[in-house]
């Protein structure tokens, strides 16, 4: 029986300002991302799963109300976020033999698991990795290969010294004796990759390629593409019987309307869209194209919102919010505009941990942490981030990131 270890214990530091919990506990359509990973594994026949979480037991709390139809889930705790290999040590006692390791955002894991198992069965190799071509090998673990054989692994190689352009995707099939290699290596953040490199040099190891697009979840804007993927594959077209919808509301396409939702006169909803329980869509609001409103949210009167995620209990009305992600409990004042496209229509750059990162996106609005509040008539430039527990004053122009717990006021007549 094959087992799988799902990792949810990292810091998710590059996912700021949306990292109050592990990034894979972020909710889309009422469920944390790791839910979709478990479901995908279940459909692929993997029903013995170990989830490694941090000491706050956030994954356990988020999943306690879900039923996975026969899947046996055990939880292990990694006391400190010391990398993948260290996380595996805390799951070791639950393992019987060969096992999969995957990041919790691999919600398409079932397809890859089947591919890897077919390769393992055909070659009888004890270790099999999933690979994909990349044009940026400096960002990934890169395999040194000969045919379908893995000769070594180099983590984030220097430019010009890449052994190949084949990256490790994040689905690993490992034997239990892998631990004998890992335990010989001095603990550091990339000890897992170093142990794989040592193992493949001593043992026949293979890889299998996928040409399927693999969606990353490293930076906060990545959640927008993931939400689109999940809506395309999991969104149910449904209007709950308890929803109250005015007669002249327009609802088109695949739209989910949850329990006790209220939709007021002249509102327009064009799917794919998800409107969670107890939410409100106000008069004349336009909700269109991959909007995810989690429970208790308000897209109020005269608001246009598109390709945006509201976590639970977010309130906004009038203005425009596009290609944005807003953490739970936020309040956005009337007349607020998120600019989501540069004047030159070029690639949008975001600043993460002091480093400017090309997002690869031409439409990107606001990323906002939990419980922040914004006054009326604020303007936000593309790709800017506001931390949790912030207060943004009325008429403010946000030109740069704002750190957690900041009070930011900028009067128009003081701008230069």
Low-confidence ranges of the chain (pLDDT < 70): 1, 411-416
Give the per-residue pLDDT at 413: 45
Q: Which two tokens stand for residue 164?
A: 């190949």
Peptide bond into 189 cis (omega under 30): no
Give the per-residue pLDDT at 318: 95
Q: Quick one: DSSP state of residue 87? A: H
Q: Which two tokens stand for residue 49?
A: 């799963």
64 CB contacts (<8 Å, ≥6 apart)? none
Q: Which two tokens stand for residue 339?
A: 């600019």
- For 282, phi then psi, to 5°, come to -85, 175
What is the distance between the alpha carbons of residues 369 and 168, in angstroms, rounded to a whole number?
Answer: 31
What is the distance between the alpha carbons of residues 126 and 116, in angstroms, rounded to a whole number?
Answer: 11
Give the per-residue pLDDT at 324: 98
CB contact at 8 A, 193 and 153:
yes
What is the distance between the alpha carbons of residues 77 and 93, in angstroms, rounded to a whole number?
Answer: 12
Give the per-residue pLDDT at 1: 63
Q: Which two tokens stand for residue 104?
A: 């919790």
What does DSSP say about strands 166-174 and 127-133: parallel, antiparallel, or unpaired?
antiparallel
What are the distances in angstroms from CA 87 to CA 5, 25, 238, 302?
10, 18, 40, 48
What is the distance between the alpha carbons of residues 212 and 357, in angstroms, rounded to a whole number?
Answer: 24
Domains parsed from the chain with CATH numbers? 3-209 (3.90.550.10), 222-414 (2.160.10.10)
Contacts of range 259-263, beta carbons closer than 8 Å, 24 or more positions apart? none
Supply the pTM of this predicted model: 0.89
Give the per-residue pLDDT at 411: 53
What is the distance between the alpha carbons of residues 53 and 83, in angstroms, rounded to a whole number?
Answer: 12
Render pLDDT for 252-266 as a digit per residue (tens, 0 to 9).
Answer: 999 999 999 999 999
């Amino acid at each position: 029986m094959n087992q799988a270890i799902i990792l949810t214990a990292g810091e998710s530091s590059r996912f700021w300002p949306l990292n109050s919990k592990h990034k894979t506990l972020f909710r889309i359509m009422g469920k944390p991302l790791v839910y979709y990973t478990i479901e995908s594994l279940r459909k692929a026949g993997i029903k013995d799963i170990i989830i490694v979480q941090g000491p706050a037991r956030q994954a356990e709390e988020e999943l306690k109300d879900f039923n996975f139809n026969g899947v046996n889930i055990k939880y292990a705790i990694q006391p400190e976020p010391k990398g993948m290999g260290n996380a595996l040590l805390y799951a070791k006692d639950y393992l019987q033999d060969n096992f999969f390791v995957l990041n919790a955002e691999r919600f398409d894991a079932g397809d890859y698991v089947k591919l890897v198992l077919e390769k393992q069965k055909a070659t009888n190799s004890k270790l099999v990795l999933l690979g994909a071509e990349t044009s940026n090998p400096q960002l990934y673990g890169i395999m040194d290969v000969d045919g379908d054989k893995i000769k070594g692994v180099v983590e984030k190689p220097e430019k010009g010294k890449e052994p190949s352009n084949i990256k490790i995707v994040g689905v690993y099939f490992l034997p239990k004796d892998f631990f004998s290699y890992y335990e010989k290596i001095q603990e550091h953040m990339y000890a897992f990759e170093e142990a794989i490199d040592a193992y493949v040099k001593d043992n026949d190891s293979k890889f299998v390629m996928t040409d399927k697009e693999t969606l990353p979840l490293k930076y906060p804007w990545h959640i927008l593409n993931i939400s689109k993927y999940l809506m395309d594959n999991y969104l149910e077209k449904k209007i709950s019987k308890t929803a109250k919808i005015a007669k002249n509301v327009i609802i088109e396409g695949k739209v989910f309307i949850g329990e006790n939702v209220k939709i007021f006169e002249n509102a327009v909803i064009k799917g794919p869209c998800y409107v969670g329980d107890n939410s409100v869509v106000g008069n004349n609001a336009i909700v269109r194209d991959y909007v995810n409103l989690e429970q208790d949210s308000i897209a109020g009167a005269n608001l246009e919102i598109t390709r945006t995620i509201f976590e639970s209990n977010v309130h906004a009305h009038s203005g425009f919010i596009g290609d944005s992600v807003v953490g739970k409990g936020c309040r956005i004042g009337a007349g607020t505009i998120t600019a989501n496209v540069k004047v030159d229509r070029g690639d949008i750059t975001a600043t993460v941990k002091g480093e400017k990162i090309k997002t690869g996106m031409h439409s990107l609005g606001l990323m906002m942490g939990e419980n922040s509040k914004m006054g009326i008539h604020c303007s936000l430039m593309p790709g800017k981030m506001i931390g949790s527990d912030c207060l943004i004053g009325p008429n403010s122009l946000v030109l740069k990131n704002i750190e957690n717990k900041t009070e930011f006021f900028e009067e128009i007549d003081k701008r230069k």
